[in-house]
């Protein structure tokens, strides 16, 4: 195992009705709030009115940035940062899923940046020095952005989707009320669940390195939680226990609890970001399509034991199988879970994607990570292109 | 499941050699440091010189409070607080196990208290309002004090051992280097391991209430980690993997990761504090003796399913047993683990304790918790006295 540093400043209010603490927590940071949200689903479920009411109770002045896109655009971030500078905003309040929270994080940094284009920060041309405080109210269990310091922003002018990480970019306070995810569709629940699992897979679980045994087992528990509760939430959207387990699992998958210093290049995330950047698809769905093909592509003597262990401990496949057969059965179990149990379409062609851009996407995916994707196996652009083809 | 608030400010440096960051982290809080330690074992393993060297590198002025007792005394805390006030200490540095860290937490609060006796704060007569910053270097995997806001202080004048909890009392930074526990004796390793397990048992695992499924499973993984690695650490004290797993497990058992708002009255801890207060025994050993007897005492139709589940998932007992037989087998498995595998003595009489004070101890244990011990089962003083007798 490697050495690691753990630090997570985010304060979590978990459970039904915790929104009653929103006004008090927001007022700690100042008087002027920029409320950031997406396409308006928060109005349908009554959350918008609830939030405004809570802020009004504490006499806060609320500005708004609505319409954040599912893959949030750098232009939207720039718009938010301009409001912050003009109105001297004290604190940002993101109400939504990972896209809204990611956009809010970039706004928090861009608001304190002397330049006018947040892309300087996202692309690493300039570094994040200071940020505005961030509060989030989560409405989708998926990205883990509610309790980590990462954010991913898209630039559709250049077909780029890039992420950066800054510890100061962790939300200060996040409200996780499972009832706010009752209205999440079966499709978004399935995609979000694949996203949660992919964070566990991609950052630490699928590796040939040693890990702290306790954390490896806990990673498996987070995966088992998704496998157990995602189908329940899809079948019965208002099952509190299922929504609660998925919600806390989404945070655990990325908040640092389950890692011991092993941070890989997150191969599937790198490949998926190109899919979203070119085709604007749902991130978690792209990950669900890519992951089993990636596992089959990297399956060899070195990787087979961990892939088999995954299937044994998470899906209960027969532990007496050989490493190779066990790994094969594990991947099949994952495919069945994504494409049968959760009902996600299994092929890029089902999403209207053909092979036209695979070569350039493969090159870009590797370029972002310094020329190749390291980790469970080393992938060069020619490998990535082959994996995309396996997904067709 | 209940609602909960999660917040943990402690920054963890985990792994071999992380002490290289000590000077930098300490200097963040000021120039004058009070170094707090125990009986001098940190000098034997070279840690004292290492710490002083790191502090000197950053030009810090170091004051010392040595000789903190295994069950730290309020008189020692008062001594430390007096040094802080006189010398205008900026930051406290605890180097040791849970006792040293607990004493340091109480010093951090007493240093900012206008009174001269920390017992006012410990007993709740006055409340903790402000604290000095705290840094810890852990040398014993047991209490979890390195990453939580609780501390327990003993007053031998009145035979009282009392704890209090304040979120601001979390250490700001803790250094967890498993190699510092290489010299911990087999006895202390065993006692510390029982302490870790007891935190999981006592705060949340043994309950008849609903819990978030993911967290219940993770609690079992923490327990399994201790069951797997404590015997390895006892047999081979310099096994890094075993010491590392035990060390992070000790923090996890109490840092809030594994709880979802379910905080019970910690019956075994309440009963053990009286043992230590009267007889100054090792806390973890007292817990090991009490826990199986407590489980047998509270075993009934309501509690049997959870006790059986514990044995099935942690010790691999036969899941086809009836609840009652399964629970019985679980308790026997725990007894075997504590008293055979870990080699701890199983009876209070082995520690020279007789029944002379049982009645008054039972009354005090319940009085501290408002008259009875709530949780898995409700215990009154007459019940507690019977449990003490089962331990003779």
User: Are A331 and A356 in the same domain?
Assistant: yes
Q: How many CA atoms lie within 13 A of B249 on its CB side?
A: 36
* pLDDT for residue A366: 95
CA–CA separation, A347 and A28 (whole Å): 48
Chain A interface includes B66 (CB < 8 A): no
CB contact under 8 A, B1 and A217: no
Q: Do A6 and B11 touch (CB under 8 A)?
A: yes
Q: What residues in A contact B12, CB-CB < 8 Å?
A: 4-7
The verdict on a CB contact (< 8 Å) between B245 and A217 is no
Mutate to test the interface with A, among B11, B22, B24, B218 (most CBs of A within 10 A): B218
Chain B residues inside the 8 Å CB shell of A6: 11-12, 14
| Backbone φ/ψ region at B268: left (φ over 0), alpha (ψ -120 to 50), beta | alpha
CA distance B304 to B283: 27
Which residues 103-122 of chain A have a CB within 8 Å of chain B? Answer: none
Angle at A204 between CA A360 and CA B201, to 5 degrees: 155
The rounded distance, in Å, linking the Cα atoms of B208 and B8 is 27
Question: Percent of chain A scored above 70 by pLDDT?
Answer: 100
* Residue-level pLDDT at B354: 96
Query: Which pLDDT value is given to residue B260?
Result: 84
Nearest to B47 by CA among B157, B136, B128, B110: B136
A106 belongs to a structural domain = yes
Calculate the CA A346 to chain-centre distance.
20
**Of A13, A18, A214, which is closest to B221 when you measure between CB atoms?**
A214
With an 8 Å Cβ cutoff, is B14 touching chain A?
yes
Task: Characterize A100-134 residue by residue with b for buried, 16 or more Cβ atoms within 10 angstroms of its Cβ, and e for exposed.
Answer: bbbbbbbbbbbbbbeeebbbbbbbeebebeebbbb
What span, in angstroms and rounded, lies between the C-alpha atoms of B303 and B209? 10
- Examine the domain organization and report whether B115 and B206 are in the same domain: no
**Contact between A3 and B12 using a beta-carbon 8 Å cutoff:** no
User: Which strand ranges, in their side-by-side order, compose the sheet holding A61-65?
Assistant: A61-65, A32-36, A91-96, A134-138, A173-176, A11-14, B4-6
- Tokens 């800054």 belong to residue: A166
Rounded to 5°, the CA angle A354-A71-A180 comes to: 125
Residue B79 is part of a domain; what is its CATH number? Answer: 3.40.50.1970
Whole-number pLDDT of residue B264: 74
Residue B148 covered by a domain = yes
Cα distance from B257 to chain A (closest Cα, Å)? 8
d(CA A267, CA B73): 54
Residue B6 lies in a domain: no
How many CB atoms neighbour CB B187 within 10 A? 16
Q: Average pLDDT in the A97-114 region?
A: 97
φ and ψ at residue B174, rounded to 5 degrees: -130, 140
> Are the C-beta atoms of residues B54 and B217 closer than 8 Å to each other?
no
Q: Which residues of A touch B221 (CB under 8 A)?
A: 214, 217-218, 221
Mean of pLDDT values over A95-124: 96
Residue whose entry in the numeric block shows the structure tokens 């008259």: B371
Is residue A137 very low, low, confident or very high in pLDDT (cuts 50, 70, 90)? Answer: very high
Total domains in chain B come to: 2
Run means of pLDDT, 10 residues per run, chain B, 392 residues? 92 98 98 96 95 98 96 96 98 97 97 96 92 97 96 90 86 98 98 97 89 95 98 98 98 93 83 92 96 98 97 98 98 98 97 96 92 93 98 96
Supply the DSSP symbol for B135: E
* pLDDT for position A252: 97
**Residues A224 and B217: beta-carbon distance below 8 Å:** yes
Q: Could you tell me if B248 and B383 lie in one domain?
A: yes
Alpha-carbon radius of gyration of chain A: 20
Asked if A232 and A243 count as a contact pair (C-beta separation under 8 A), the reply is no
Same domain, A147 and A197: no
Q: Do both A121 and A245 map to the same domain?
A: no
pLDDT at position A167:
74
Nearest to A245 among B214, B221, B222 (CB): B214
Domain membership flag for residue B67? yes
Q: Answer yes or no: are the C-beta atoms of B71 and B276 closer than 8 Å.
A: yes
* Mean pLDDT score, A141-161: 93
In which element (H, E) is residue B65 found? Answer: strand B61-65
**What confidence score (pLDDT) does residue A228 get?**
98
Residue A211's closest chain B neighbor by CA? B241
Beta-carbon pairs below 8 A across chains A and B = 101
Query: What is the model's pLDDT at position A133?
Result: 97
Pairing status of strand A173-176 against strand A160-165:
unpaired
Task: Provide the 3-class DSSP secondary structure of residue B133.
Answer: coil
β-strands B11-14, A4-6: how paired? antiparallel
Q: Are residues B120 and B42 in the same domain?
A: yes
Question: Is B248 an 8 Å CB contact of chain A?
Answer: yes
Residue B183, C-beta contacts closer than 8 angstroms, at least 6 positions apart = B41, B44, B45, B237
Q: Which of A15, A17, A249 sits opposite B4 (nearest CB)?
A: A15
- Nearest CB to A15; choose among B3, B11, B215: B3
Q: What is the CATH number of the domain that holds A275?
A: 1.20.1090.10
Summarize chain B as % helix, strand, coil (round to 5).
55, 10, 35
CA distance B243 to B236: 10
Residue A221: list chain B partners with CB under 8 A: 214, 217-218, 221
- Minimal Cβ distance to B214: which of A6, A17, A222: A222
Tokens standing for B66? 């040595």
Q: Is A239 on the interface with B (CB under 8 A)?
A: no
Residues 201-220 of A with CB under 8 A from B: 210, 212-215, 217-218
- What is the signed CA dihedral for B383, B386, B390, B392, rounded to 10 degrees? 130
Query: Mind listing the pLDDT tens digit for each residue in A218-235?
Result: 999 999 999 999 999 999
| Phi/psi at A206 (5° precision) | -85, 95
- Judge if B153 and B190 occupy the same domain: no
pLDDT at B368: 84
Considering the domain architecture, whether residues B81 and B105 belong to the same structural domain is answered as yes
If phi > 0 it is left, if psi is from -120 to 50 it is alpha, else beta; for residue A199 that is alpha
Q: How far apart are CA A112 and CA A101, in angstroms?
A: 17
Asked if A340 is an interface residue toward chain B (Cβ–Cβ < 8 A), one would say no
In a domain, A1, yes or no: no
The answer to whether residue A226 neighbours chain B at the CB level (below 8 Å) is: no
Higher pLDDT, B264 or A47: A47
A222 touches chain B (CB under 8 A): yes
SS3 B168: helix
In a domain, A4, yes or no: no
Phi, psi angle pair for A108, to nearest 5°: -55, -35
A245 to B15: CB separation less than 8 angstroms, yes or no:
no
Residue with tokens 């051992």: B161
Contacts B4 to A, Cβ<8 Å: 12, 14-15
What is the domain range of residue A88?
A: 11-180
B340 touches chain A (CB under 8 A): no
In-domain check, residue A220: yes
Q: Say if residue A124 is in the same domain as residue A192.
A: no
Residue A2 included in any domain: no
B202 shares its domain with B76: no
Residue A252, classed as helix, strand or coil, is helix
Q: Are residues A146 and A201 in the same domain?
A: no
- ipTM rounded to 2 decimals: 0.94
In this predicted structure, what is the pLDDT of residue A1? 81
pLDDT in tens, A334-358: 999 999 999 999 999 999 999 999 9
Lowest mean pLDDT among A18-27, A163-172, B90-99: A163-172
Asked if B225 and B372 sit in the same domain, the reply is yes
pLDDT tens per residue across span A250-266? 999 999 999 988 767 78
Q: For chain B, what is the total number of helices (H) and then of strands (E)? A: 15, 9
Selection from B236, B226, B105 nearest residue B164 by Cα: B105
Give the residue on B whose Cα is nearest the Cα of A227.
B214
pLDDT tens digits, A357-391: 999 999 999 998 899 999 899 999 999 999 999 99
pLDDT value of residue A2 = 87
Could you report how far apart the first and last alpha carbons of chain A are, in Å? 37
Distance to chain A for B14, nearest Cα, Å: 5
Task: Give the pLDDT of residue B369.
Answer: 86
Chain A residues lying within 8 Å of B252, measured CB to CB:
214
């Amino acid at each position: 195992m490697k050495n690691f540093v753990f630090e997570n400043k985010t304060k979590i209010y978990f459970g039904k009705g915790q929104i009653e603490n929103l006004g008090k927590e927001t007022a700690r940071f100042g008087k002027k709030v920029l409320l950031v949200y997406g396409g308006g689903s928060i109005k349908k479920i009554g959350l918008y009115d609830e939030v405004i009411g809570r802020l009004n109770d504490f006499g806060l002045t609320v500005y708004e940035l609505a319409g954040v896109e599912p893959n949030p655009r750098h232009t939207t971030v720039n718009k938010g940062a301009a409001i912050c500078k003009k109105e001297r905003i004290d604190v940002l309040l993101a109400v939504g899923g990972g896209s809204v929270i990611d956009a809010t994080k970039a706004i928090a940094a861009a608001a304190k940046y002397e330049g006018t284009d947040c892309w300087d920060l996202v692309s690493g041309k300039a570094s994040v020095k200071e940020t505005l405080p961030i509060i989030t109210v989560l409405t989708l269990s998926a990205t883990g952005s509610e309790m980590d310091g990462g954010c991913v922003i898209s630039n559709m002018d250049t077909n780029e989707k890039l992420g950066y990480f800054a510890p100061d970019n962790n939300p200060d306070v996040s409200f996780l009320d499972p009832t706010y995810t009752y209205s999440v569709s079966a499709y978004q629940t399935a995609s979000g669940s694949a996203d949660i699992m992919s964070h566990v897979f991609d950052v630490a679980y699928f590796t040939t390195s040693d890990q702290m045994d306790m954390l490896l087992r806990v990673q498996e528990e987070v995966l088992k939680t998704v496998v157990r509760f995602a189908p329940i939430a899809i079948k019965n959207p208002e099952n509190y226990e299922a929504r609660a387990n998925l919600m806390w699992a989404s945070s655990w998958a990325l908040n640092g609890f389950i890692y011991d210093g092993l941070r890989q290049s997150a191969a599937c995330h790198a490949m998926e970001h190109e899919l979203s950047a070119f085709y604007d698809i749902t991130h978690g769905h792209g990950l669900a399509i890519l992951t089993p093909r990636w596992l089959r592509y990297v399956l060899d003597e070195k990787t087979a034991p961990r892939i088999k262990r995954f299937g044994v401990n998470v899906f209960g496949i027969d532990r007496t199988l050989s490493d190779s057969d066990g790994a094969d059965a594990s991947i099949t179990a994952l495919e069945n879970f994504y494409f049968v149990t959760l009902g996600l379409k299994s092929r890029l062609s089902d999403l209207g994607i053909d092979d036209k851009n695979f070569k350039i996407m493969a090159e870009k995916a590797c370029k972002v990570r310094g020329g190749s994707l390291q980790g469970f196996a080393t992938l060069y652009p020619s490998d990535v292109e082959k994996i995309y083809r396996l997904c067709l």
